Structure 1
Amino acid sequence: MELLARAMWGPAAPGLRVLPSSAAELLTALRAPARLGAHLRAVHDVAWRLTGWLGGAYPGLRFDRRAVLFGAATHDIGKVLHPEELSGPGSRHEDAGRWLLLAAGVDPRLARFAGSHGRWDAPGARLEDLLVAVADKVWKANRVPDLEYLVVQRLVVVSGQEPWTAFLTLDGQLDALAAGAGGRLAYQNGFPIAVG
């Protein structure tokens, strides 16, 4: 568990913020692999930066920043039960994660991110769901135009900007966030998948 604690709170070369204590306590109780702690820390950091920027650049945009940050810090918690998905594809962790969070007493409004981060294109997806999904992509410099377009639509509504202006503004910020992907990937991959 020492490795997990270091992944969540220890010094990080890319200057990643530590995980919130609520997420760290859940990961510790579940005996999560250190790599999962490092991954969630990286995604949480990107979500923190993204939501901070959005709050300043688009003050009329209403979203629950605390919910986004919790969602980013716990979205893959189901990989505790499906560790093979830490190094390979799969979506079994999504429903498993939601179940784990609900079983731990997490509010369903927050537990939903474990499933919604992979289903951001579902009808009724909230802005918070989109932002967790964007952070989960951009942390490793993966850009998903359809996902980003859904965020741009929300920015247009609150700002009155032309869509291309909102797109260029968001695109510039996401490019800046994606630029740190190499350091975040190296940090994550410096931790083992096996619990130890």
Structure 2
Amino acid sequence: MTTELPPLPPDVAELLRSVDAPPRLVAHLALVHQVAEQVVEFCAAEGLAFDHHAVRYGAATHDIGKVVHPEELSGPGSAHEPAGHALLSARGVPEELARFARTHASWGEPGTTTEDLLVSLADKAWKNQRVRDLEDRVVDRLAAATGRERWEAFLALDDLLTRIGEDAPRRLALQAAHPVRTGRK
């Protein structure tokens, strides 16, 4: 199996180098970004209005707080969420992009945007984790945008997520092939 990762946006790749992001984290962000690309293409073709750049950037940086909380690379925790937001903000990333570090696990909160939902969806779909509440919220947005019946929007999204899920074992193995820690001391 190749350990070559899909590309990240150049500014994100440089940001991750500058904070000495562990290889496992870089792999995870690249793989979620790759899935986000598929989600963006699908939703745009469906006629959903949203900020494509924000979703791509959010997917590529959502877990950057794990640089500060590396124990969350291999274990549970949510301390990386506010830490990631703070890290991005301190580096001059605009709030409309930095917010995904803190919102990617809170899609049920009031004021959740379509962009927030799509970053969250990519973060689950990359490993074939299906979350009904999250998917229902995306289906509602798709149905409203397209004028389709809700069940039609569900079937279209379900087809996409099934296709994405079929490649999850390869993505999981690719992420696991990258070490949790950097080689530096």
Is TM > 0.5 for Structure 1 vs Structure 2?
yes
Query: Which consecutive unaligned segments of at least 5 residues does structure 1 have?
Result: 1-9
Contact 2:3 2:174 in 1 (8 A): no
Which residue identity lines up with residue 134 of structure 2 in the other structure? L
Which residue identity lines up with residue 172 of structure 2 in the other structure? L
Contact 2:114 2:138 in 1 (8 A): yes
Which residue identity lines up with residue 187 of structure 1 in the other structure? L
Partner of 1:51: 40
**Displacement, 1:11?**
6.0
Partner of 2:86: 99
Determine which of 48, 56, 70 is the counterpart of 2:57.
70
Count of aligned pairs between the two proteins: 182
In structure 1, what is the Cα distance between the partners aligned to 2:121 and 2:84?
Answer: 19
Determine which of 35, 40, 45 is the counterpart of 2:24.
35
Determine which of 142, 147, 151 is the counterpart of 2:138.
151
In structure 2, what is the Cα distance between the partners aligned to 1:155 and 1:17?
Answer: 27
Q: Is the aligned partner of 1:114 residue 2:125?
A: no
In structure 1, what is the Cα distance between the partners aligned to 2:107 and 2:37?
Answer: 19
Partner of 2:7: 18
Question: Helix, strand or coil: the match of 2:173?
Answer: helix
Which residue identity lines up with residue 169 of structure 2 in the other structure? G
In structure 1, what is the Cα distance between the partners aligned to 2:14 and 2:91?
Answer: 11
Which residue identity lines up with residue 153 of structure 1 in the other structure? D
State the TM-score, normalized to the length of structure 1: 0.90
State the Cα RMSD in Å.
1.1
Partner of 1:127: 114
Which residue identity lines up with residue 112 of structure 1 in the other structure? R
State the TM-score, normalized to the length of structure 2: 0.96
In structure 2, what is the Cα distance between the partners aligned to 1:181 and 1:94?
Answer: 24
Determine which of 151, 156, 160 is the counterpart of 1:164.
151
Partner of 1:139: 126
Deviations 1:58-114 (A, max 9, x none): 12x110010000000000000001111111110000000000000000001100000
In structure 2, what is the Cα distance between the partners aligned to 1:72 and 1:97?
Answer: 13
Question: Helix, strand or coil: the match of 2:105?
Answer: coil
In structure 2, what is the Cα distance between the partners aligned to 1:109 and 1:150?
Answer: 20
Q: Percent identity?
A: 53
**Displacement, 1:17?**
2.9
Question: Helix, strand or coil: the match of 2:49?
Answer: coil
After the TM superposition, list the runs of 4 or more consecutive aligned residues in structure 1 that deviate by more than 6 angstroms.
none
In structure 2, what is the Cα distance between the partners aligned to 1:68 and 1:22?
Answer: 15
In structure 2, what is the Cα distance between the partners aligned to 1:154 and 1:128?
Answer: 11
Partner of 1:182: 169
In structure 2, what is the Cα distance between the partners aligned to 1:55 and 1:11?
Answer: 30
**Displacement, 1:143?**
0.4
In structure 2, what is the Cα distance between the partners aligned to 1:49 and 1:156?
Answer: 19
Question: Helix, strand or coil: the match of 2:179?
Answer: coil
